[in-house]
Amino acid sequence: MPSIVVVGTQWGDEGKGKIVHLLGKEADMIVRYQGGPNAGHTVVFDDKLFVLHLIPAGILIPKKICIIANGVVVDPLALHEEVKLLEERKIKVEGRLFISELAHLILPYHKILDVAKEESKKGETKIGTTRKGIGPAYADKVERVGIRLADYLEEDTFKELLEQNLKLKKEYLGSPSQIEELKNQILTQASSLRPFLKKFACDSSLDLNLALKKGKKIIFESAQGTMLDIDFGTYPYVTSSNPIAGAVGSDCGIGPNKIGSVLGIVKAYTTRVGEGPFPTELEDEVGKKLREVGKEFGATTGRPRRCGWFDALVVQRSVSVNGIEKLALTKLDVLQGMYPLKVCIAYEHHGRILKHFPNSRKVLQESKPIYKTLNGFGEIGKSVRRFKDLPLPAQKYVRFLEKISGAKISFVSLGRSRDETIRISKTSLWN
């Protein structure tokens, strides 16, 4: 099938937006399949910086069709603001963006719940949520009290479901008068946003299956990264959905046999936002330099990212879980002038060598990285577009990451612009 799934192989922020924008030139449709406005994709287009939270990065490419699928939780107000900002910057959205009628919505009470639950936790039990209401919205979906776009568009249905939800959550929402005020606020907001959302509503499963049947090229774009997957990530410090490639089927309503290739996006070092274990984290000057040179601050929250050396066990797990055969390596340029470079090749736990990422949270917390030291490299010229023109130690670093990760590195990104990319493999990703 002519489709590509683009997934993050670490804890998110690997540079998926840029790669989707790069490959989007060859695609007909770009689909966001999970997550919510807690994710931020930073893309440089026409020398302008765009930060997208819900809308697929492909919206920046003229005439491309973009879909927000049923696996995404959508904040109607945040979406309205994002569309408005894009249109103010002369990016046409209407007629190109569509949202699944089955997508669940984030409403103001979800954000209240998110903050209340995070504040009630202490110390290491805090997850480090973005407080955007994503977790509570997914919880409602699983508890079968969620409100979907289709429900929101039907005024009577929405009012009935809203009252039901406010009753269920009243202990978190304040006094009866405060709840009544919240209800009126939400109903007023819905009346205002309903005509706007109706223009984008679609049966995305039907549309995607028809497009695939016609041979259209589709990119399925994840948010976050594999190590934040609710099943395979560093639980409980994870997101509330499945960023892995296997989720495309249920999150888009297509069969698994319609997924073509899987491209993993991997940073040349490792970063993480929020709480949770991070074996290769550097809390020294090297970590500080990675943050400053790599501009490692959250696209959604602005929070400084925790930085560390490349962790091969993390990427190996992602390659296995997602069925990745090809990788795009990003931010290699950030490592210029750093001597030496280190790569975590195993963990040590109480004298035992671990060669696979552990499932036990206790073991992971107590594990220490075992490093292989490699030579650093000097300046990479801005005009470098061929792998052989990279400094030799940089080439060796890339080849080592490729060997230890277990997947072929097909792209090397050297900057934020899509043009600052080396395409190593000429083999098409479109299966």
Report the distance separating Cα 386 and Cα 383, nearest Å: 9
Q: What is the 3-state secondary structure (H, E, C) of the chain?
A: CCEEEEEECCCCCCCHHHHHHHHHHHCCEEEECCECCCCCEEEEECCEEEEECCCCHHHHCCCCEEEECCCEEECHHHHHHHHHHHHHCCCCCCCCEEEECCCEECCHHHHHHHHHHHHCCCHHHCCCCCCCCHHHHHHHHHCCCCCEHHHHCCHHHHHHHHHHHHHHCHHHHCCHHHHHHHHHHHHHHHHHHHHHHHCCEECHHHHHHHHHHCCCCEEEECCCCHHHCCCCCCCCCCCCCCCCHHHHHHHHCCCHHHCCEEEEEEECCEEECCCCCCCCECCCHHHHHHHHHCCCECCCCCCECEEECEEHHHHHHHHHHHCCCEEEEECHHHHCCCCCEEEEEEEEECCEEECCCCCCHHHHHHCEEEEEEECCCCCCCCCCCCHHHCCHHHHHHHHHHHHHHCCEEEEEECCCECCCEEECCCCCCCC
Which of these is catalytic: 13, 114, 140, 251?
A: 13
Q: The tokens of 190 are what? A: 């819905």
Cα 133 to chain center, whole Å? Answer: 16
Nearest to 63 by CA among 20, 108, 17, 30: 30
Nearest to 331 by CA among 417, 422, 267: 267
Q: The tokens of 200 are what? A: 């984008």
Q: How far is CA 272 from CA 19, 117, 155, 234, in A?
A: 19, 22, 41, 11
Cβ atoms of 226 and 38 closer than 8 Å:
no
Active site (annotated) includes residue 41: yes
Active site (annotated) includes residue 284: no
Report the distance separating Cα 412 and Cα 418, nearest Å: 11
Which of these is catalytic: 21, 28, 41, 389?
A: 41
Cβ atoms of 68 and 32 closer than 8 Å:
yes
Q: Which residues are catalytic?
A: 13, 41
